[in-house]
A and B are shown apart, each in its own frame.
Chain A
Amino acid sequence: MKTLMKSGLSALALTAMASGAFAADLGATDEPIKLALNEWTGQHVTTRVAGEMLKAAGYEVEYVTAGMMNQFQAIADGDIHATLEIWSSNVSDQYAVLKDAGQLEELSDLGLNAREGIAYPAHVADLCPGLPAWEALQECAMNFATAETLPMGRLVDYPADWGTPGADRMTGLDLPFKAVPAGSEGALIAELRASTEKKSPLLITFWQPHWAMSAYDVKFVDLPAGEDACFTDPAWGPNPNAINDCDFAASRIFKAGWPGLKDKWPAAHEILVNYTLAVEDQQPMMGAVDVSGEAVEDVVSAWMGANEAKWKSVVDAATK
């Protein structure tokens, strides 16, 4: 909830800025602004839209491929100037360290509404009647059991370095499932794919927006709403003895940049701070790339042409 309030506030701030905005200096337009391209398509869309906006404002933009986990040192060193889609559920601690040391600047929320949860491919509903209600899992845990988890069911959790939210839920709700860390995103997808092909049972920790949500018809399990009290007060929720007996708290998606950005390219800084992208806009573009196989550049430029109203004002506010 706290994060929701925060994004609400930033939306307010955005309107205030847009209406009373002041045009900033363009700064060093002859030097390229380097934006990080991480490993997933949604991030490519987010970054290319921002890059096109900067180009519209008169900047040179260069896209640099960078590992999500390893990019922050590069941003602190000024080798990359901004990264535009950081998920709070999956950010390295190095980010916090560098930010606290003043070597990184957080640039506000992206406005992408993400959801995380315990999920399953649609066919699993037949193997565990009663889904999506979470209580059903109590009864059919054995259907999800495998060699390594017997006598408990198997929940495929996030890779260990993203944290163990799935395992926390199972403990909180006292469900007989053993969480197995996936190791990588590719492993999560391979599990979804194999389960869909084999029509085998699968319970998995997953999130949206993600192209696999529609590709494998993934559904979320209905859990009690993730209110603040759930994570602090054991008495709250269906299990009176434990915290975490509820759904995930909303995750935050935000942008960060090199601290020198503001001085070197003031208008670009303002554009990147005010830039937002909605799930309704990102998801169809991701689909066009991952499912229909179009090039990201083409998809983004088509969207930019058709949706000028959604981004032009941010560019104009900073430059005119």
Chain B
Amino acid sequence: MTALQHEETGPARAFSRGAKAALLVLAVGITCRLLGAQFDWLVGWPDALTVPMTDWVGAAVGWFLSVFKPMARAFSQLLSYPMEWVGAALRSAPWPLVVGAVTAIGWLIGGFRLAALGFIGLGFVVISGYWIEGMNTLALVTVSVPLAVFLGMAIGILAFEVPRLKGAVNGLLDVMQTVPAFAYLTPLIVLFGFGPVVGLIASAIYAAPPMARNVLLGLERVDEEIREAAVMSGGTRRQQLFLIEIPAASQQIMVGFNQCLMAALSMVIIAAVIGGFEDIGWEVLLTMRKAQFGPAFLAGSVIVVFAVVIDRLSAALAEQRVAQSKRVALAIFAVGAAVALWSVLANWNPSGVAMLDGLAETVDTGVGTFTANNGAALDAVKNTSMFYGLLPLRIGLADAVLPFTWGFKWTAAHSMGFFAIVAVISGVLALRGQVTAGAVVAIAALFLEIGVAQAPWPLVVIGAAALGWVSRGWSLVRLVVILLGLILLSGLWERALLSLYLSGASVAACAVVGGALGFLSATSTRVWAVVRPFCDMLQTIPMFVFLIPVLMFFQIGEFSAFLAICMYAVVPMIRYTRQGLISTPEDMIEAATASGAGKWQTMIEVRAPYAAPTILLGLNQTILYAFAMLVIAALIGTTGLGQSIYLALGQADVGLGVTAGAAMAILALVADRLVQGFADKRRKALGL
């Protein structure tokens, strides 16, 4: 429904088109609502028309595995070498040496500030007692990030150089980002064998898309003048690309690198789910099983520390900087080496240190005490959100309004009254010439009365197709109908609607909260200084960690899942909104200031329109993140496609796993294409 609202703000020349589409959808909706009681097939897709798609997919995947297994095993063998070398080097290097080296590098790159960051960060890892596990995790990331960066660069450049492939490449990226790793974990293990390499591959698959997208966006936004200058100075196409255009796009590419890194670190947990080596993810899983928030948070923080240190160092690398004294760096490193020598001689082992265990314990008890003291308040928060928000959205006012929840029973009379009011509002809007708005209000009301999870399939399919028609035209209609038709045929429709409802609600919440936070972060560096570490943490700490307090406070169920999804999916919205707002070219701002525009006027009239494409890319990422998080949310007992994926994992039903994963990807893809369709229109309307 969030997508529906975009229509109201659509440019005026699509007005009649939008109105036509909205009226058609409204007609379908009313028909389904009136006749749904008599004709079941108007609401639920008839079972007779489903095909055993999961079996087919299972058989196809089985064939694929048997053919490609030898090749994949060889590849996995190949990857295991660098990983073992890096791992062995990191593990056997005495910790003071590593700390010294990182501090010295920090000094070289960014002077005292970054040297301190490196020292404090790695010092934290030492005193947490997770040094060895941390080094294992680092080894995994050291191999998977270059793999993902290379893959992402290649895909991004390919899409830029061969515009014909752009559509297909975007589809591929969406699939890579939205089909959850859990869905193809079983085939991946069969294919690549047991061990951390599978985790490495899964994390590279997941981390490459943000890189590719930003490379593409960056290249597309290179100034025409720079491009022309490159053409005029001669040289081959390859020289133009690598010597001029990519450096010119470096700022956007660095955003991609940063996102790629964060995504790779967030997937470290997958390696642990499979097992094979003792890394931080494994510690998180062990503590998560015991519902110990403190220790899980401590172990997860090690991943965050790595992310922050690597991110800040790499970000500083991209900026112009003053040269630091090499002698100081050498001195720092020498101190590290000296302490290393001492620690080897004294046989001092950091895994015995557990200085922060007491703190972890305190945090853990804190969560318990908070739950004990605020039980009633927490329940009130949960029940209010459920009764007046999520529940009506899922099963509709007609079913959600009960004496236990709203204090009265929703009857047919209430429905009549509700629709009468809606009809008046829509009628008034239509009479004032806003036919589209009127129809959209009526459609939204229909959804609210029926509930998203119980929405008749013709309403959903035709609704999505109509949006496609308005936003882009018949090509998108075709895509939407075929993809949604596949879900209908597979028999996973009901579960897909549940997933749609949950992620839709989360995306709506994220768009509002994330947009506001991103805006504030763009206007004030002080706000950003506070928000940024939170973003880093939410994006890289294994989300399992936050499931524990959410569960303690709100118990198993949809509200907890909703919160967990929001926590993860809100980050790209914040980051991209800020990035878009602050990256307005200086000359545009100067021009605005010169013509007498104030700070706010500049923000609204110059920065915001220029930022719109970036912000919409953020929304796109938020949608994809929300779908990606559905699987983790299934760990706290949601139903829908996420749960199917776990069921498939338990039953080793490769077909069900892959099909449910694909259904999830389809929903994300459709939502994403619709948003992008409107985004393109907006871009054109603004002349960007």
Contact = CB atoms under 8 A, between A and B. Distances in A.
B637 A150 contact: no
Given A77-B193, A183-B556, A189 B637 contact: no
Contacts of B647: 160-161
A184 B638 CA distance: 11
Contact of B273 (A64, A67, A159, A181): A67
Interface string A183-198: 1111101110110011
Given A186-B548, A193-B368, A69 B649 contact: yes
A186 B290 contact: yes
Contact of B404 (A77, A150, A180, A184): A150
Contact of A147 (B194, B391, B637): B391
Interface residues of B, number: 59
A71 B275 contact: yes
B371 A186 contact: no
A189 B186 CA distance: 27
A229 interface: no
7 contacts: A70-B185, A74-B193, A180-B637, A184-B288, A184-B547, A191-B556, A197-B368
Interface in B529-581: 544, 547-548, 551-553, 555-559
Question: Which 6 residue pairs across A and B have the least CB separation, nearest first?
Answer: A161-B650, A94-B652, A74-B194, A66-B275, A198-B375, A190-B551
B195 interface: yes
A190 B405 CA distance: 26
Interface string B354-383: 000000000000001101100100000011
Q: Count chain B CB atoms within 10 A of each CB in A199, A200, A211 and give the residue with the most.
A: A200
B387 A147 contact: yes
A146 interface: yes
B278 interface: yes
A79 interface: yes
A80 B194 CA distance: 9
Interface in A143-157: 145-148, 150-151, 156
Interface in A179-229: 180-187, 189-191, 193-194, 197-200, 211
Nearest to B372: A197
A303 interface: no
A186 B558 contact: no
B509 interface: no
B64 interface: no
Interface in B258-316: 272-278, 282, 285-286, 288-291
Given A66-B275, A187-B556, A93 B652 contact: yes
A190 B643 contact: no
B635 interface: yes
Interface residues of A, number: 50
Interface string B404-427: 110000000000000000000000
A64 B371 CA distance: 37
Nearest to B288: A186
A159 B642 CA distance: 12
A211 B291 CA distance: 12
A307 interface: no
Interface string A58-101: 00000011110111011001011000000000001110010000
A70 B646 CA distance: 12
B132 to A, nearest CB: 13
B480 interface: no
Contacts, number: 168
Given A73-B190, A183-B646, A190-B551, 7 more contacts: A73-B189, A79-B193, A147-B391, A150-B402, A160-B650, A187-B635, A194-B553
B275 A67 contact: yes
A161 B649 contact: yes
A189 to B, nearest CB: 4
Contact of A66 (B276, B291, B551, B653): B276
B372 A198 contact: yes
Contacts of A39: 285-286, 289
Given A70-B185, A183-B635, A197-B368, A189 B290 contact: yes
Contact of B551 (A80, A145, A194): A194
B114 interface: no
Contacts of A191: 551, 555-556
Interface of A: 36-37, 39-40, 64-67, 69-71, 73-74, 77, 79-80, 92-94, 97, 145-148, 150-151, 156, 159-162, 180-187, 189-191, 193-194, 197-200, 211, 290
A206 to B, nearest CB: 13
B517 interface: no
Nearest to A142: B404
Contacts of B290: 186, 189, 211, 290
B483 interface: no
A92 B649 contact: yes
Given A187-B635, A190-B548, A194-B555, A93 B651 contact: yes
Max count, chain B CB within 10 A of own CB: residue among A145, A187, A199: A187
Interface of B: 185-186, 189-190, 193-195, 272-278, 282, 285-286, 288-291, 368-369, 371-372, 375, 382-383, 386-387, 391, 402, 404-405, 544, 547-548, 551-553, 555-559, 634-639, 643, 646-647, 649-653
B288 A65 contact: no
Given A65-B275, A198-B375, A148 B190 contact: no
Contacts of A37: 275
B557 A148 contact: yes
Contacts of B558: 148
Most B-side CB within 10 Å, residue of A70, A190, A197:
A190
A47 to B, nearest CB: 13
Given A40-B289, A187-B636, A193-B552, A159 B652 contact: no
B634 A183 contact: yes
B651 A73 contact: no
B277 A186 contact: no
B189 A161 contact: no
Nearest to A194: B552
Contact of B556 (A180, A199, A200, A290): A180
Given A65-B275, A147-B405, A148-B558, A183 B636 contact: yes
Contacts of A93: 650-653
Nearest to B281: A65
Nearest to B548: A190
Given A160-B643, A183-B634, A197 B650 contact: no
Given A148-B558, A180-B637, A186-B291, A66 B194 contact: yes
Contacts of B193: 74, 77, 79
Contacts of B552: 190, 193-194, 197
Contacts of B386: 147-148
Contacts of A180: 556-557, 637
Contacts of A156: 556
A67 B189 CA distance: 12
Nearest to A185: B289
A92 B652 CA distance: 7
Nearest to A148: B557
A183 B638 contact: yes
Contacts of A183: 556, 634-638, 643, 646
Given A70-B185, A74-B194, A189 B291 contact: yes
Given A186-B288, A194-B555, A181 B637 contact: yes
Given A147-B382, A198-B372, A182 B556 contact: yes
A290 B643 CA distance: 30
